[in-house]
Amino acid sequence: MSKLGFDNDKYIKLQSESIRKRIAMFDNKLYLEFGGKLFDDYHASRVLPGFSPNAKIHILTELKDQAEIIFVISAGDIERNKIRADFGITYDMDVMRLMDNLRRLGIYINSVVITQYAGQPQADVFKRKLEMRGERVYVHRHTKGYPTDVNTIVSDEGYGANPYIETTRPLVVVTAPGPGSGKLATCLSQMYHEYKMGIKSGYAKFETFPIWNIPLKHPVNIAYEAATADLGDFNVIDSYHLEAYGHSSVNYNRDIEVYPVLKNILTKITGDDSLYKSPTDMGVNMAGYGIIDDEVCRNASKQEVIRRYLHSKTDYKKGICSLATVQRMEMIMSELCLSEEDRLVVSPAREKSDIVKTPAMAIMLEDGRIVTGKQTDNMECSSTCILNALKVVSNIDDSVMLLRPEVLEDIMLLKREKLGDSRYLLNLADMLVALSISATTDKNASLAVNNLDKLKFREAHCSHILTEINENTFRKLSIHITTDPVYPSDDLFYV
């Protein structure tokens, strides 16, 4: 059993209590900006072992009688078909997915706001699609005067030009599928309208990283820098907090940089300049109090940094991230004195590939054993590695055939002759289908299928870049996979 470093129940209790206290500060009307992911926050669960990937949802469920949700999405992201990498779906599709998931939990969805609108055709299509399903959709254009002309921003020409969204509950959570969506502007626009109506609403930010009350160079906080390396974010000491209270707290550069403007805007809206003395004050973040084993969290965060570094090298090879991102990750690796080989599955995968002269993969089981697999005449290395791992966790002898030969042959024939797939080898999804078919008549195959969950959250590494199909399958299996930045062939078409 993996050792825990974080008490999730304690965190949920403290975070929920802090949100309730913040609501009470503002005549029971708070706009709470939710950064990061609502569901499936696997970064947090990886660097803080014991943190639930759905901790935010647990907190929302605790507060659901008081809360309603406004989803925000940038028209530019819709137009560009921006992809949420961990699910492989566009931001607009993710908004609809999140709305469905929240409603199943009994959490009230108020509306969707399309921000930074400038007539983008795809944004219009998305708006119509939601409205035809009975959803409330609002459109916000660029805020006139932003970011420096506070008098224009906080006027009927600025925030006042946005339509007001009717809300009925004391906690209004404003969230989005990704960064840069316009959550903050939506919160401030609502506050502007409400102060004109005599409603003294407030603003705060739900935060997890960086954790303000652990050291600046703690690996948990450095892992956050690794997670945002493509954005150029970095952690700093909150100088405003230090000056106001005499002790250090950690924040990140964008919050520090925007604080003077944000404070002026809030002061202009509310007429009160004494509420928040620092960017840290604006956040609601009790994550640091949930850490129960600092060493466990330090080690987990270092492993996350290595994963992020390997991902950046592969993404650079694919042409989807910049050299600057890789160089930033190299600096972070150096700062923590880490090497790729500190990820214990890397060397076994590479060594296996060097020996067999084909792509190879390694996976570490919960007890520390490492299982490898190579590409064969009928299966990709991801398929053989996972099949071998299932044999080990199921105590099935390696000589036992789990896949019926006729099933393998039929699938390969279908891929090669009927579907015209030049790469007819069984990928990971194919192998799992074949294993499931075999499980209907073979007790060992059935046992292996039932033990798939034993591979959940395990670490794995492949000597070559994976196809999108295999990447998506590993994601669904919740296996933490990394790869070397090497294509297995010279083919340009590789999906």
Q: pLDDT digits over 363-405, tens only?
A: 999 999 999 999 998 899 999 999 999 999 999 999 999 988 7
Task: State how far the alpha carbon of 430 is from the alpha carbons of 230, 353, 455, in Å.
Answer: 34, 22, 18
The pLDDT value recorded for residue 50 is: 97
CATH superfamily to which 344-483 belongs:
Domain of unknown function (DUF1846), C-terminal subdomain (3.40.140.40)
Checking if the pLDDT of 435 tops 90, the result is yes
Name residue 302's amino acid.
K
pLDDT-derived band at 148 (thresholds 50, 70, 90) equals confident
Q: Mean pLDDT across the chain, nearest whole number?
A: 93
Measured N-to-C along each axis, helices 443-450 and 381-393 cross at an angle, to the nearest 10 degrees, of 100
Q: Are 139 and 165 in contact (CB under 8 A)?
A: no
CB within 8 Å of 128: residues ≥ 6 apart? none
% the chain with pLDDT above 70: 97
Checking if the pLDDT of 21 tops 70, the result is yes
Q: Where in the chain is the domain with CATH 3.40.140.40?
A: 344-483
Name residue 182's amino acid.
G
% the chain with pLDDT above 90: 85
Task: Say what the pTM is.
Answer: 0.91
Q: Say how many C-beta atoms besides its own lie within 10 A of residue 121's C-beta.
A: 10
Rounded Cα distance between 190 and 143, Å, is 13
Average pLDDT value for residue range 331-339: 98
- Please tell me the least confidently modeled range out of 83-92, 304-313, 416-425, 441-450: 416-425
Checking if the pLDDT of 446 tops 80, the result is yes
The pLDDT value recorded for residue 214 is: 97
Checking if the pLDDT of 288 tops 70, the result is yes
Q: Where in the chain is the domain with CATH 3.10.630.10?
A: 8-290
Name residue 456's amino acid.
K
Measured N-to-C along each axis, helices 428-439 and 381-393 cross at an angle, to the nearest 10 degrees, of 40
The pLDDT value recorded for residue 494 is: 62
The pLDDT value recorded for residue 423 is: 65
The pLDDT value recorded for residue 226 is: 96
Average pLDDT value for residue range 106-115: 97
The pLDDT value recorded for residue 85 is: 67
Average pLDDT value for residue range 188-199: 96
> Which one has a higher pLDDT value, 418 or 372?
372
The pLDDT value recorded for residue 326 is: 97
Residues 70-89: tens digit of each pLDDT: 999 999 999 998 877 667 78
- Please tell me the least confidently modeled range out of 35-39, 185-189, 211-215, 325-329: 35-39
Q: Say how many C-beta atoms besides its own lie within 10 A of residue 217's C-beta.
A: 11
State in words which class domain 8-290 has.
alpha beta
Q: Which helix H or strand E contains 187, and what residues bound it?
A: helix 183-196
Average pLDDT value for residue range 43-68: 95
Checking if the pLDDT of 418 tops 80, the result is no
The pLDDT value recorded for residue 480 is: 96
pLDDT-derived band at 424 (thresholds 50, 70, 90) equals low
Checking if the pLDDT of 495 tops 60, the result is no
Q: Are 321 and 85 in contact (CB under 8 A)?
A: no
- Longest CA pairwise span in the chain (Å): 76
Look up tokens 């003077």; give the residue.
Answer: 260
The pLDDT value recorded for residue 493 is: 61
Average pLDDT value for residue range 258-280: 94
Checking if the pLDDT of 440 tops 60, the result is yes
